[in-house]
């Protein structure tokens, strides 16, 4: 959510906005002319600042579009009108964010305002083997120096939680440290996706200055070197379709592949899109799914539970907050919308989610358009029932835009904000006891206290490490920070006397004595269960009844799993049959096309033959006419010849008569 959890210091909104507007020249001062503003900012930034200022102070654009003869006024109108129904508060925050991007030091130059010191902590490790050691309680440990780059002082502290061997220079427990990275860093961003495959952290997409990104970068967690793979897109179209830039999506590692789920885009689709990146071939493709997918959205949570993805909440393309629940089976690639019982979390986005014991889905925090939350909700994925358990310990403040990862039964939460300040504490929740505690805290506007930050977990030398990247806290960042959780932070010993609901963990507070029992879990084998029991026979009977109930539930579970396996097999068979039918249909279609082409050729040949027949008929008619004329001429010729012979015969008789002395006949 773009307006959620901005980490800012000094003036709060709306005073901070008016100070920024005055500094940028959007007031009645002489420097507020359009010419003065364009001389300080690029045309694109100036137009965007103008539109945001009008949206924040006037509201939605209702003025008519200027004539095309006034090019500048028309461009300003388009910038304002393009913001649509954006809330004035969100326009104020985006105005300040763009100004900080254009001129990061504007706040310190505003007259009448005194900037707050923002110390940035940097830990320097003394790697000299001849360095002196501090002897305390008989233990020799290296000396750790924490340097404040803001005021130049060098306060020195000594930390007992130091690991001499391990991840390069990162040897301090429960402290955020910037490792010495190399290579070309990714562009600063937030609301991106991050995942780990084979000791490499992949960063994809995100938001920078309101622009969505579609680049992919890789950080080797052994050498701390950045690289950018030459990713290509698998598409049947020519040229290949470009990968859509997005932000607010989720990046999940699955079988040596990356799954990018949902996210905000410039031209959103109707349904959620799932894209797949094959790390071996460096190829992006679109995952073909079945069933009815959820509507497109961003800011949702996507949690991998066994072989399924559980999607909750988010915000759709129309800025409507959601609290629906969907599951994508990665084996059958089938979507399923879940209608769980109980009271679900209120509609929200930019929350965090985790899974405990492969059965319980935990939802923490998030925000609406104007409110941040710090509530905790639990969904029993077997019973499909929502509950809201009681939290214990140092309950975190409301926040949104935070990130979380699980290490064992502990859930680490980093970053986020509450619309006023960035969250400086890194907290951890023991998911079995529901006890919160603070791991560490930072000071000032540092990358850890950012919205839209990413957090992944990896390991080195048998130890877990948390790796954070990016975020927005008044400025975009592309910093990498690493934390090693200590033994005390990953194995919380705090216990509470209040009972924890059964739908959260396998903890049942019955009496005063701890008895550990184990029973077989869903897919991870055995799940630990702590049962408080007493030596009294009545409580022993309760324990026996509990065991009987567990056995009954196990039998029912096995039966349900068997039925589920059969259904999955049947679904796979149907999928195979469907694929075979598609193949047959494709072959038949090819045959049909061949027959159609042959038929077209025959039709063309028949047409030519018909034309020839017509021509021959015309010639035949002509020949018949000529034959009749020939017959007539022949008859006329015969008549003429007959007349000629008769005349010749007459003439011959007269000559002989003359010779005989008879007079010639008189002519009629």
CA 582 → CA 258, 406, 587, 651, distances in Å?
Answer: 28, 42, 9, 102
Strands ordered across the beta sheet of 454-460: 454-460, 463-469, 480-483
CATH number, domain of 78, equals 1.20.80.10
> Are residues 96 and 220 both part of a single domain?
no
Q: How far apart are CA 53 and CA 88, in angstroms?
A: 9
In a domain, 502, yes or no: no
* Residue 45 pLDDT grade (very low, low, confident, very high; cuts 50, 70, 90): confident
Widest distance between CA atoms in the chain: 187
- How many CB atoms are located within 10 Å of the residue 609 CB? 10
Q: Which position has the higher pLDDT, 370 or 329? A: 329
Q: Which position has the higher pLDDT, 274 or 653? A: 274
> Are residues 453 and 326 both part of a single domain?
yes
Helix 43-57 to helix 88-102 angle (10° resolution) is 150
Residue span of the structural domain in which 620 resides: 596-631
- How many CB atoms are located within 10 Å of the residue 267 CB? 6
In a domain, 549, yes or no: no
Using DSSP's 3-state secondary structure scheme, residue 348 falls into coil
Q: Closest Cα to residue 2, out of 444, 404, 414, 315?
A: 315
* Residue 342 pLDDT grade (very low, low, confident, very high; cuts 50, 70, 90): very high
Task: Classify strands 232-233 and 283-286 as parallel, antiparallel or unpaired.
Answer: parallel
Classify residue 363 as exposed, middle or buried by CB count within 10 Å of its CB (0-12, 13-18, 19+): buried
* pLDDT per residue as tens digits for the range 87-143: 888 888 888 888 877 777 677 666 444 433 333 333 332 333 333 333 333 333 333
Using DSSP's 3-state secondary structure scheme, residue 591 falls into helix
Q: Closest Cα to residue 262, out of 211, 190, 197, 313?
A: 313
pLDDT attached to residue 528 = 34
> Are residues 349 and 252 both part of a single domain?
yes
pLDDT attached to residue 430 = 95
In a domain, 381, yes or no: yes
Check whether 181 has a pLDDT greater than 80: yes
Q: What is the mean pLDDT of residues 83-90?
A: 85
Q: What integer best gives the mean pLDDT of the chain?
A: 79
Cβ distance 489 to 446 under 8 Å?
A: no
Element (DSSP H or E) covering residue 603? helix 537-660
* pLDDT per residue as tens digits for the range 209-224: 889 999 999 999 999 9
Q: How many helices (H) and strands (E) does the chain have?
A: 8, 35
> Are residues 84 and 179 both part of a single domain?
no
* Residue 376 pLDDT grade (very low, low, confident, very high; cuts 50, 70, 90): very high
Cβ distance 370 to 347 under 8 Å?
A: no
- Separation of first and last alpha carbons in the chain: 132
CATH number, domain of 447, equals 2.120.10.80
Check whether 639 has a pLDDT greater than 70: yes
> Are residues 260 and 389 both part of a single domain?
yes
* pTM value > 0.75: no
Q: How far apart are CA 354 and CA 364, in angstroms?
A: 9
Following DSSP, what letter does each residue of 208-237 receive, concatenated?
Answer: ETTEEEEEEEEEETTTTEEE----EE--SS
Strongest mean pLDDT among 159-173, 188-202, 593-607: 188-202
> Are residues 198 and 66 both part of a single domain?
no
Q: How far apart are CA 136 and CA 502, in angstroms?
A: 46
Boundary-marking domain end, from 47, 73, 106? 106
Q: What is the mean pLDDT of residues 468-478?
A: 94
Check whether 502 has a pLDDT greater than 50: no
Cβ distance 77 to 61 under 8 Å?
A: yes
For residue 431, give the DSSP letter.
T
> Are residues 291 and 406 both part of a single domain?
yes
> Are residues 257 and 335 both part of a single domain?
yes
Boundary-marking domain end, from 106, 132, 154? 106
Q: Closest Cα to residue 430, out of 349, 523, 351, 362?
A: 362
* Residue 345 pLDDT grade (very low, low, confident, very high; cuts 50, 70, 90): very high
Q: How far apart are CA 563 and CA 290, in angstroms?
A: 21
> Are residues 72 and 187 both part of a single domain?
no
In a domain, 667, yes or no: no
Check whether 435 has a pLDDT greater than 90: yes
Boundary-marking domain end, from 487, 510, 538? 487
In a domain, 251, yes or no: yes
Report the number of distinct structural domains present in the chain. Answer: 3
Q: Closest Cα to residue 433, out of 354, 492, 475, 365?
A: 492
Using DSSP's 3-state secondary structure scheme, residue 400 falls into strand
In a domain, 494, yes or no: no
CA dihedral 570, 575, 581, 586 (to 10 degrees): -170
Cβ distance 496 to 475 under 8 Å?
A: no
* Residue 22 pLDDT grade (very low, low, confident, very high; cuts 50, 70, 90): confident
Helix 71-81 to helix 43-57 angle (10° resolution) is 60
In a domain, 286, yes or no: yes
**Where are any strands of DSSP class E within 209-307?**
211-220, 225-227, 232-233, 250-254, 257-261, 274-278, 283-286, 297-298, 301-305
> Are residues 309 and 446 both part of a single domain?
yes
Check whether 494 has a pLDDT greater than 60: no
pLDDT attached to residue 653 = 60
pLDDT attached to residue 385 = 97
> Are residues 179 and 69 both part of a single domain?
no
> Are residues 194 and 282 both part of a single domain?
yes
- How many CB atoms are located within 10 Å of the residue 418 CB? 23
From 29-38, 181-190, 343-352, 364-373, the region with the lowest mean pLDDT: 29-38
Residues 6+ apart with CB under 8 A from 224: 168, 179, 180, 181, 182, 480
* pLDDT per residue as tens digits for the range 211-260: 999 999 999 999 999 999 999 998 655 566 789 999 999 999 999 999 99
Q: How far apart are CA 329 and CA 200, in angstroms?
A: 26
* pLDDT per residue as tens digits for the range 506-555: 333 332 333 333 333 333 333 333 333 333 444 455 566 677 778 888 88
In a domain, 585, yes or no: no
């Amino acid at each position: 959510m773009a307006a959620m959890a901005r980490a800012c210091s000094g003036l709060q909104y709306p005073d901070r906005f008016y100070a920024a507007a005055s500094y940028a020249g959007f007031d009645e001062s002489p420097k507020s002319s359009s010419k003065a503003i364009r001389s300080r900012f690029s045309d694109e930034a100036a137009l965007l600042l103008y539109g945001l200022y009008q949206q924040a102070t006037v509201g939605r654009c209702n003025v008519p579009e200027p004539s095309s003869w006034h090019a500048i006024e028309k461009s300003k109108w388009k910038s304002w009108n393009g913001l649509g129904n954006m809330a004035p508060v969100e326009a104020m925050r985006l105005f300040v964010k763009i100004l900080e991007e254009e001129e990061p030091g504007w706040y310190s130059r505003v007259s009448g305002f005194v900037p707050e010191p923002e110390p940035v902590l940097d830990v320097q490790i003394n790697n000299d083997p001849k360095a002196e050691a501090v002897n305390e309680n008989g233990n020799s440990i290296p000396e750790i120096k924490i340097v404040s780059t803001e005021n130049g002082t060098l306060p020195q502290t000594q930390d007992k939680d130091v690991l001499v061997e391990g991840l390069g220079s990162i040897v301090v427990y429960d402290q955020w440290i910037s490792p010495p990275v190399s290579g070309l860093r990714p562009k600063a961003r937030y609301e991106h996706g991050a995942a780990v495959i084979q000791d490499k952290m992949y960063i994809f997409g995100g938001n920078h200055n309101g622009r969505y990104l579609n680049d992919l970068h890789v950080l080797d967690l052994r050498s701390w070197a950045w690289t950018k793979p030459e990713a290509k897109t698998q598409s049947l179209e020519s040229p290949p379709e470009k990968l859509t830039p997005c932000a607010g999506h989720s990046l999940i590692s699955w079988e040596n592949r990356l799954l990018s789920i949902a996210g905000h885009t410039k031209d959103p689709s109707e349904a959620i899109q799932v894209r797949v990146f094959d790390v071996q071939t460096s190829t992006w493709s679109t995952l073909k799914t079945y069933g009815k997918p959820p509507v497109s959205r961003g800011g949702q949570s996507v949690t991998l539970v066994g072989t399924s993805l559980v999607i909750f909440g988010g915000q759709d393309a129309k800025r409507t907050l959601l609290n629906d629940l969907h599951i994508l089976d990665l084996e059958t690639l089938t979507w399923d919308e879940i209608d769980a019982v109980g009271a679900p979390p209120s509609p929200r986005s930019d929350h965090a989610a985790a899974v405990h014991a492969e059965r319980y889905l935990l939802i923490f925090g998030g925000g609406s358009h104007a409110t941040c939350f710090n509530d905790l909700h639990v969904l029993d994925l077997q019973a499909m029932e929502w509950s809201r358990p009681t939290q214990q310990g140092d309950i975190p403040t409301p926040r949104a835009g935070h990130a979380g990862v699980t290490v064992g039964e502990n859930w680490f939460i980093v970053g986020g904000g509450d619309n006023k300040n960035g969250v400086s504490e890194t907290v951890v929740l023991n998911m079995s006891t529901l006890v919160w505690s603070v791991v560490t805290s930072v000071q000032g506007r540092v990358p850890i206290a950012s919205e839209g930050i990413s957090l992944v977990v990896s390991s080195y030398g048998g130890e877990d490490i948390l790796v954070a990247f990016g975020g927005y806290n008044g400025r975009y960042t592309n910093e990498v920070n690493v934390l090693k959780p200590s033994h005390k932070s990953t194995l919380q010993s705090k216990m509470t006397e209040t009972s924890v609901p059964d739908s959260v963990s396998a903890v049942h507070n019955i009496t005063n004595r701890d008895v550990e029992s184990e029973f077989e879990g869903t897919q991870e084998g055995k799940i630990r269960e702590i049962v408080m029991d007493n030596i009294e026979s009545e409580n022993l009977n309760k324990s026996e009844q509990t065991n009987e109930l567990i056995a009954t539930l196990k039998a029912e579970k096995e039966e349900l799993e068997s039925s589920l396996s059969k259904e999955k097999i049947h679904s796979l068979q149907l999928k195979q049959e469907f694929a075979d039918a598609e193949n047959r249909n494709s072959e038949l279609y090819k045959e049909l096309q061949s027959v159609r082409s042959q038929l077209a050729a025959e039709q063309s040949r028949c047409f030519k033959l018909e034309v020839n027949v017509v021509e021959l008929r015309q010639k035949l008619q002509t020949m018949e006419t000529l034959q009749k004329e020939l017959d007539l001429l022949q008859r006329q010729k015969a008549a003429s010849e007959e007349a000629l012979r008769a005349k010749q015969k007459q003439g011959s008789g007269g000559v002989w008569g003359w010779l005989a002395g008879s007079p010639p006949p008189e002519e009629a």
